[in-house]
Amino acid sequence: MEKNPKILVTGGGGLLAHALARLQNRDWDWLFFSHKDFDLLNGNQMAEQLDKHKPLVVINTAAYNLVDRCEVERDFSWAVNAQAPAELARLCALRQIRLVHYGTDYVFDGSKKAPYLETDAPAPLNHYAEGKLAGERAVLKADPAHLVLRTSWIFDWHPTQSKTFVHTILKAAREGRRLQATTDQVSVPTHASDLAGWTLALIQNQAHGLFHAVNDEGVSRFQWTQAILDESASLGLIPSIPSVEPVLSSHFNATMRRPDYTVLSNSALSRQLGRPLGSWRSGLRKMLATMK
Ligand SMILES: NC(=O)c1ccc[n+]([C@@H]2O[C@H](COP(=O)([O-])OP(=O)(O)OC[C@H]3O[C@@H](n4cnc5c(N)ncnc54)[C@H](OP(=O)(O)O)[C@@H]3O)[C@@H](O)[C@H]2O)c1
């Protein structure tokens, strides 16, 4: 009997990797690697694992995502987010393995105030975004068969991660703490399960190049927070809906610059897949129902 082709997934403990595992797709043999067993900072180990397992596709979900820490740990974050994807892309290209990699909405500076297209020029405002942009560019340069999906505000249920934005809001509401959320930071919450499904469909379509991969509808942090509270209350996860104070980003005196408007247009991806990409609200309901 012919064996299934293999997909090797890095960052196996992360949010998106867990959503890929939950697809339970049987057309492929899925190999999930933890940080320890496939370390992006260890080129020899990566090469050995690729040669041992011979995947047809690698999905790189691993990254250093602590945006504020990237500003301080500049060399380390650059190594993980810029140099390591370049090396992985090179190793994959040498072996004719297709690489799928993820970028961020933060590559834009927010000045457009209309959904960003794949053809819009990036203008990163902080070190995290600069590193992620260098990483995605290196991946696309290494092999035209590679694929980069830029995404934003990923959320989903996860067996151990309990510090996502949704968890934080729920916890604060349950503990009766005061809630504040910004009205001037606008992006698109994206359900990791949806992103996982689009990733697999694109692999099966042999898609390559750059796509913006987000759910429908940009919202402010304030609107996103209210939606989390509304949906949680309707499922009985919180006893009542607390009030949320709308504030501006300047209220938090952050030293790091963040773009205020980073809504990505998902039209190109929607055309490629031949279907709408679905709303974050329906993803949120699924996540909360699972948590219940
Ligand atoms: N989350 C978002 O809102 C968001 C927004 C835009 C773009 N993205 C991008 O989407 C992709 C998936 O994000 P996610 O939310 O699933 O990330 P995540 O939950 O933070 O998972 C990232 C994983 O990468 C692992 N990792 C970190 N450094 C590594 C290294 N040197 N070698 C191997 N593994 C390493 C981490 O393991 P340890 O915990 O053991 O270190 C973690 O399991 C990433 O490229 C991210 O930059 C995410």
pLDDT digits (tens, 9 = 90+) for 231-250: 999 999 999 999 999 999 98
Q: How far apart are CA 59 and CA 173, in angstroms?
A: 36
- pLDDT mean across residues, the chain: 96
pLDDT at 1: 60
pLDDT at 251: 87
Does residue 224 surpass a pLDDT of 90?
yes
DSSP strand E in 106-162: where? 147-151, 154-155
Is the Cβ–Cβ distance between 214 and 264 less than 8 Å? yes
CA of 151 to the centre of ligand 1 (A): 12
CA 137, 142, 143, 148 dihedral sign is: negative
Closest CA to 196 of 66, 289, 286: 286
pLDDT at 163: 80
Query: Would 224 be classed as within a structural domain?
Result: no
Q: pTM for the complete prediction?
A: 0.97
Is the Cβ–Cβ distance between 63 and 81 less than 8 Å? yes
Question: pLDDT confidence of 2, banded at 50, 70, 90?
Answer: low
Query: Would 53 be classed as within a structural domain?
Result: yes
Query: Would 231 be classed as within a structural domain?
Result: no
**Structural domain that includes position 51:** 6-161+188-218+262-278
Query: Would 249 be classed as within a structural domain?
Result: no
Which residue would you say has higher pLDDT here, 162 or 245?
A: 245
Q: How far apart are CA 91 and CA 254, in angstroms?
A: 38
Question: Ligand 1: residues whose CB is within 6 Å?
Answer: 10-11, 13-16, 35, 38-41, 61-65, 80, 102, 104, 151-154
Does residue 256 surpass a pLDDT of 90?
no
pLDDT at 162: 79
Ligand 1 atom nearest to CA at 84? 31
CA 273, 187, 281, 11 dihedral sign is: positive
Query: Would 84 be classed as within a structural domain?
Result: yes
Q: How far apart are CA 186 and CA 143, in angstroms?
A: 33
Query: Would 172 be classed as within a structural domain?
Result: no
Amino acid at 24: Q
A 10 A CB-CB count for 292 gives 9
244 SS3 class: strand
Query: Would 39 be classed as within a structural domain?
Result: yes
Query: Would 179 be classed as within a structural domain?
Result: no
Does residue 84 surpass a pLDDT of 80?
yes
Span 67-81, pLDDT tens digits: 999 999 999 999 999
Report the number of distinct structural domains present in the chain.
1
Ligand 1 atom nearest to CA at 80? 31
pLDDT at 41: 98
CATH of the domain at 45: 3.40.50.720
Ligand 1 atom nearest to CA at 158? 19
